[in-house]
Structure formats: C-alpha cells, structure tokens
C-alpha cells in the first residue's frame, strides 16, 4: 500500500540549531504510528512540517502526494485532523459554539456536532462555557475538532494530557476505530506505557534524529535487552536453576525465583524450568517499551 505521508531526508534548521536532522518516515492508511522522544527531540517540528505550517530546510514532505506547504495545502487540510499539545479555546464560548466554528472552517455540517460531542463524552457539557471546563474536558473538545469531517489523516500531539484513565481508554478506542476504518494516525506521546501494544509502529527520536523505527518486536530486537522469567515453585527444595551462559538467578521470597537471560536462550530456559516437578507457574516478562526507549536513548547519547 502506498504511503499517505512520506517524509524523505527531512531536516529543519532554525539558525544554527537543527530541530530535525535527516529524518525518513512513512505513514500508511489504516496504520497508527507512535512518535516518541524527549522534549526538544523534534517531534512537534516534524508534525508542523506535515501540516504545512513550516517548510523543511532540506528533504521533502508529501501528504497524499502533495506538498502540504504548497498551493494545494488548503485542500489537503480538509481531510486532515490535528490536535496540538496545548489546546487553547476562547473561554467565553460554549463547547458547541467552538465546535460549530471549526466545522464552518472545515466546511462541515454543524448539525453533526452533537453526535461528535457525544462521542468524546461532552454531550452534557456542550452548552457550558469553556471557562468552566477542566483541562481534560478541553482536551476532549480538541479531539472532537480534530475528528471533524472524518479525516483520512490524524496528527495528535500529546493527546491524552489531562485525561483521566477512563477518558484515556475511550480515546484509544476512538483511535482504533479510525485506524480500522482506514485513517492514518500519527500519535506523539511521552506516555510509553499507554501506547505499548496500541500502535503498529514506533518512531523514536533523539536530538532531531530518528534513532529507531519499527514494530515493538523489531525495537525489542534492536535494543537487545534480556528477558526476565519469573518462576513460582511448590517448594524450593528439589529445584535447581538451568545452567546456561549469561543466565542470572535471583530469589524473590521462599518460593519464587526470577531468571534473567538473553532472548536467544529463552526457549531453552523455559524447556528446563517447565520440566521441573516443583514448578507451579511461569511468567515471561519481555522488555517493556520504557525499557527499550531507555536503552535506545543511552545508545544515542554515546
């Protein structure tokens, strides 16, 4: 499938400072890609270039085959949804008035807005002024305006900031629905534990560069971190740890032991511990996205 978004050898300079340096990235329809990195890594600048709000200093950005900063940029924006990291709306307007305003900007029928407010959990607050909204409510209203017109491409910059756990769950359900419906979603986030298992690919940025890009399994392979295997025993007596290179063994209480091993010997470790008469349960704990990210950042800093 051809890419809906193509970023090829893109750099962005602000004077002597390189905010983005030589980034290659693609985003296909029906795919959710997470963009992660520290503050100042270049994530927001990259999103702004996809929106056509600024031009790359080198390389090219194409959205639906067009330059988003070119003469067809306004036409592209009709099929694009954007939620910035910091959502700011006039406090004297109601939620419905704000959404109606953005609907007119995108040439959408405002009559559909009540259903959209219902979808993001703001139906009961539609007629309240935004000055009375919490940060989480303003964030949900921002998501509603990003969803106007059923966009083919969604660019979401720290979208769950200020949301409570239930609202975050609702947000990711909406993202899944949109992706399954054929939309492309780029999700910039610091909340690594949230996005683990919720995205198709993950792009890791550091100091303006793309240091890793792939599925979670591919990033685990690239990080080359050990696997932890926790074994519960019916009795400590009669159990002995497998004898394998680089295997570490740590007891946690009287009847639980944690084994740490390289990924390539994981199956042999499992074979040996599962064959023990005193093994009651086995829990495999692969490196989390937080672990992988920390390892990739350490390498990038070397």
Give the residue-averaged pLDDT of 219-242.
Answer: 91
pLDDT on residue 267: 92
Q: How sure is the predictor about 40, in pLDDT bands with cuts at 50, 70 and 90?
A: confident
The Cα diameter of the chain in Å comes to 75
Give the residue-averaged pLDDT of 79-87.
Answer: 88
Q: Which domains, and CATH codes, for the chain?
A: 3-221 (3.40.50.300), 226-286 (3.30.70.250)
Q: How sure is the predictor about 1, in pLDDT bands with cuts at 50, 70 and 90?
A: low
- Residue 210, token pair as written in the block: 């793309």
Q: Does pLDDT of 73 surpass 80? A: no
Q: Does pLDDT of 219 surpass 60? A: yes
Share of the chain above pLDDT 90, in %: 66
Q: How sure is the predictor about 160, in pLDDT bands with cuts at 50, 70 and 90?
A: confident
pLDDT mean across residues, the chain: 91
Give the residue-averaged pLDDT of 186-204.
Answer: 90
Q: What are phi and psi of 65, to 5 degrees?
A: 80, 0
Q: How sure is the predictor about 142, in pLDDT bands with cuts at 50, 70 and 90?
A: very high
Q: How sure is the predictor about 191, in pLDDT bands with cuts at 50, 70 and 90?
A: confident
- Residue 37, token pair as written in the block: 């990195």
Q: Does pLDDT of 162 surpass 80? A: no
Q: How sure is the predictor about 189, in pLDDT bands with cuts at 50, 70 and 90?
A: confident
Q: Does pLDDT of 106 surpass 90? A: no
- Number of Cβ within a 10 Å radius of residue 245: 7
Q: Does pLDDT of 168 surpass 90? A: no
């Amino acid at each position: 499938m051809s890419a809906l978004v193509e970023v090829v050898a893109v750099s962005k300079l602000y004077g002597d400072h390189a905010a983005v340096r030589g980034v290659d990235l693609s985003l296909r329809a029906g795919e959710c890609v997470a963009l992660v990195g520290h503050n100042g890594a270049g994530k927001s600048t990259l999103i702004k270039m996809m929106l056509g709000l600024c031009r790359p200093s080198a390389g090219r950005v194409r959205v639906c085959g067009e330059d988003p900063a070119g003469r067809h940029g306004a036409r592209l924006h009709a099929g694009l949804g954007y939620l910035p990291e910091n959502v700011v709306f006039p406090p004297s307007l109601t939620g419905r008035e704000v959404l109606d305003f953005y609907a007119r900007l995108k040439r959408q029928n405002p009559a559909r807005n009540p259903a959209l407010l219902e979808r993001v959990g703001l139906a009961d607050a539609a007629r309240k002024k935004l000055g009375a909204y919490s940060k989480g409510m303003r964030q949900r209203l921002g998501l509603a305006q990003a969803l106007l017109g059923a966009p083919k491409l969604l660019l979401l910059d720290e979208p769950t900031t200020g949301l409570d756990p239930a609202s975050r769950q609702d947000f990711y359900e909406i993202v899944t629905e949109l992706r399954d419906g054929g939309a492309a979603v780029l999700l910039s986030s610091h909340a690594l534990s949230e996005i683990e298992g919720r995205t198709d690919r993950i792009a890791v940025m550091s100091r303006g560069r793309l240091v890793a890009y792939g599925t979670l399994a591919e990033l685990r392979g690239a990080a080359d971190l050990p696997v932890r295997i926790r074994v519960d025993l019916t009795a400590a007596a009669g159990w002995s740890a497998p004898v394998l290179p680089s295997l570490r063994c740590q007891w946690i209480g009287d009847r639980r032991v944690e084994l740490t091993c390289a990924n390539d010997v994981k199956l042999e470790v499992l074979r040996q511990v599962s064959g023990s008469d005193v093994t009651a349960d086995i829990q495999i704990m692969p490196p989390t996205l937080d672990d992988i990210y920390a390892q990739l950042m350490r390498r990038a800093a070397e």
